Structure 1
Amino acid sequence: MQVLKGCKKLAITVCSMGRIPGGYITNHVYSWVDPEGRNVSPPPDSHETNQRQGQGMEERTVILNMDDGRSLGLMIRGGAEYGLGIYITGVDPGSAADACALKVP
């Protein structure tokens, strides 16, 4: 995070996945657990879902302007520690991501 605080502009490449694996509503906080409440990730359908959604996805690069003191404003889910890609699940109003019109379906 310290690297991001020193940047005036941040370029990120994004593509629409339609939904995050195991979820139905993307603007929601998710926790994947087994019946005993232990963390499990990725959910069983994620590999198959990623293969289906990988076809025909369009990538775009978004430039976030960080020099006005706004927060980055990305709500994310996943990451290497869960064996998943990084999914943007929401955008904070008034943030740098919101200012460049980044939306979550």
Structure 2
Amino acid sequence: MASAFVFASLSGCSSPEPEQAPAPVANQVTVKDRTYSPASITVDVGDTVTWLFDDGGMAHDVVADDKSFRSPLMTSNTFTHTFTEPGTYTYHCTPHPDMMGTVLVQG
């Protein structure tokens, strides 16, 4: 009887499942450590690029040099833009002009 009690007591004790890291988002650029990573990304026409803002409370934005897209100034969250025309799109961060990136859109 005692062994049944011990077994019943221990049967509910198991290690919790390790948390799975979120799956990477296709065509994602991370905004962290005052950089865009990757600094250059290649996508196809119709693809959406997601910028993930994660720089410890430092505010950044994503501003296309040709003014075709612009995110708000953010400390966290995401910004997305769908590219409908082929070309090379350069962008920068308004408060940190040394932060620059490129999206190459293939037709």
Which bracket does the TM-score occupy, shorter chain normalised? under 0.3
Q: Which has the higher contact order (CA 8 A, sep 6+)?
A: 1
Structure in which a larger fraction of residues adopt strand: 2
TM-score, scaled to structure 2: 0.26
For the pair shown, the structure with the greater C-alpha radius of gyration is: 2
